Amino acid sequence: MLYFLTFQVVGWADVFSRQVYQDLVLTNLTYCRKEKGLYLFGYVVMTNHIHLVVQQKDGKLSDWVRDFKKYTSKKLLK
């Protein structure tokens, strides 16, 4: 089953207007495709939120969302 997901930045801050932060998200998505069984059908990175159309190979999308958000937020804050 395909899912449409949206992740927003707290306070709608324009974090992804910087290329380095966009690259971090895209690198993480690439890793998830190769190593975590994520099927990525489409994405849009806006200045303060991300849209994804995804499917999880194992059907455990909530686990993937948790891990993706945790890892990405720690890297962005660093």
Task: Report the number of distinct structural domains present in the chain.
Answer: 1
60: domain range?
3-77
Of the pLDDT bands very low, low, confident and very high (cuts 50, 70, 90), residue 31 is very high
Q: For residue range 34-43, list pLDDT tens digits in order.
A: 999 999 999 9
CATH of the domain at 12: 3.30.70.1290
Look at residue 63 in the predicted model and tell me its pLDDT: 94
Rounded Cα gap, residues 29 and 38, in angstroms: 8
pTM above 0.85, yes or no: yes
Q: What does pLDDT average to over the chain?
A: 95
Looking at the predicted structure, is the pLDDT value of residue 78 above 90? no
